[in-house]
Amino acid sequence: MELKNLAVPSVYALICFLAYSSQVLFLYLEPHPLDRDQAIRFNALLACLFISYSRSVAVDPGHIPKSSEKEIDATGKKTRQRWCRKCEAVKPPRAHHCKQCKRCIPKMDHHCPWTQNCVSHTTFPHFIRFLFYAVVCMSYLAYFLWIRFSLLWENRHLPSYLGPSIFHLGHLFLLIAANSFTLFALSMLLIRNIWCLAVNTTTIEGWEIERHKTLLRRSRAFGGFLDGPEGTRVRIERQEFPYDVGIWTNFKLGMGTANMLAWFWPLAATPLVSTGLSFPINDFEAPTTTWPPPDPDRMSNRRAVKDTDFNINSEAFTYRDAELTPMQTVAAFRKRQDDDVVRRRKPFVARVEAWQARQGDASAEPGSYGELDAYETYGEEYEGAGEFRYGDEDVVEEHAEEGQREQRKGQGSPGGNESGEEGWRNSEGERLRDFGVDEDVEFYDEEEDDVPLSTLLARKREAAAAGYVVGGEVE
C-alpha cells in the first residue's frame, strides 16, 4: 500500500481524535463535561465537517467532454485554443491535465494530497466548506481546552492527588499541541482560498501570474522581446488577469450559486461540469485574448531530426535497433516518441550565462553552446528598440543576479539535464508540478496548430456531419 492511500484515513483519524477523545477527557477535567447546548453545537459542527470533507473526497472533479465544436467569439473569430496531447482533446479555459487523475480537469486548482482528489470547479465549494468547518470546530475546541488549561494553571500549587492523572495531563497537552498546529495551518489555507475566491484565481493561475511578471521583467532588458523556439521572437506585453469580474460575481461563480446560505450548507448541490467550460471575462483585454499569456518557453518545440541522430545516406533501408532486445526496442521507440513531442528548453539563466561565456570566448566554435546558437540572440538589437544594445553589461548582470536567486529557490544547476525551463519556481519555491499537474503536458503546451493532422481531419468530418457552419464554411 502506498503512503498516499493513508492520507484520507489519517485525516478522519485526526478529526476523531481531536473531536471525540477530547469530549471523553472533559469527563475527568474541571469544569467537567460540556453542557447540553455546547455538546449540541459542537457535534452539529462536527457533522458539517465530516459531510464537507467526505464530499471533497468523493465528488468527481469532472471530465472534459470531447467536442468537435470550435469556440467562436462574438466577432466570429476563433480564439487561441490549447491542445492536450495525452487526452487528445481541446482543453477549455482554466483546465489542466492532472498527473494523478490522468485526465484534464475543469478549472483545476490543485491536486490535494489530503483529499486524494482534485480541487476543481466541481469540488472547490466542498473543499472550502471543509476548511471553514474545520477552522470553526478547532476554534471551538481551542476555547474548551483553554478553559480547562487555565483552571489547571490556577490550581497548579495544589497537591497532585487533587488534580488529574499524568495520563490525563499528557492527553490534554497532546490535544492542545495537535489542535493548535492544525488550526494554524488550516486557517492560513482558508484565508488563502478565500482570497483566491474573491479575486477568482486558482493556485495554478497564481503561479501563471507570477510567471508572467517574470517574463515582463526579463523582456524589458531585451526591448520587449524574448526568444522562442526555432529562432522566433515573441513580444511580451503586459496582460491583465481576465477572470476577475468583481468580488460578488467571483463568489457566485466560485461557490456555484448566489444563495449565501447554500455557501455554508454541507449538502449544497455540486456545480455542473458544463458551467466550468467557459467563464465570463472582464473588459481589460480584447475578447480574443486568452489566458495564460504567450510564453516563449512554453511554446511547443517539436524536435527536428539531425544528421547525427540518423544518417539517411548511410543507414537508409536499415533497422537501427536490430541488436536490441524486444524490451529495449520498445523503450527506445518510446524515448524517440517523447523526444519528438517536445524538446526542453534550458533554464533562462543558463542561456544567459552561455551567452556571456560565448561573448568572452571569441575563439568559440559555432554550435559549442547547444541550443543557444539555434535561437538565442541576446547580443543583437531588436527592431524599434532605439540605440539600446542588449549585450550591455548591466543587463547581463541583472539576469545573472536573477539566476542566482532562482538557483537559491532550488531550480538546480544551470544547464543541468534534470530540469529545463519547466523547473521555474515562483516566490514560494513552487514549480508547476507541485500543484499535481502533468508538467511535461502543461508547461510545454500545444495550441491548435500543433494538433495531429489525423485528429484535425476526424474533427472536420464530425463538424461537417453535425452541420457547424461559420461564414459559409463548415467549421
Q: In a 3-state reduction of DSSP, which class is residue 237?
A: coil
Amino acid at 437: V
Residue 43 CA neighbour count, 13 Å, CB half: 11
Within 8 A by CB and 6+ apart from 380, the residues are 390
Collapsing DSSP to helix, strand or coil, 284 comes out as: coil
CA 273, 275, 277, 279 torsion-angle sign: negative
Residues with a known catalytic role: 112
* Sheet with 82-84, edge to edge strand ranges: 89-91, 82-84, 446-447
Q: What angle do CA 350, 354, 356 make, to 5 degrees?
A: 115
CA distance 52 to 136: 13
At CA 421, angle to CA 81 and CA 414, rounded to 5? Answer: 175
Contact 116, 8 (CB under 8 A): yes
Q: 72 near 80, Cβ under 8 Å?
A: no
Q: DSSP letters of 138-191?
A: HHHHHHHHHHHHHHHHHTTTS-GGGS--HHHHHHHHHHHHHHHHHHHHHHHHHH
Residues 125 and 270: beta-carbon distance below 8 Å: yes
What's the rounded Cα separation, in Å, for the pair 255 and 197?
A: 8
**Length of the chain as a residue count:** 475
Nearest CA to 208 among 48, 363, 435?
Answer: 435
Measured distance CA(222)–CA(73) in Å, rounded? 34
Cβ atoms of 379 and 360 closer than 8 Å:
no
3-state class percentages of the chain: helix first, strand second, coil last, to nearest 5: 50, 5, 45
Residue listed under C-alpha cell 524574448:
226
What lies within 8 Å, CB to CB, of 439 at 6+ separation is 99, 422, 431, 432, 433
- Judging by beta carbons within 10 Å of its beta carbon (0-12, 13-18, 19+), is residue 227 exposed, middle or buried? buried
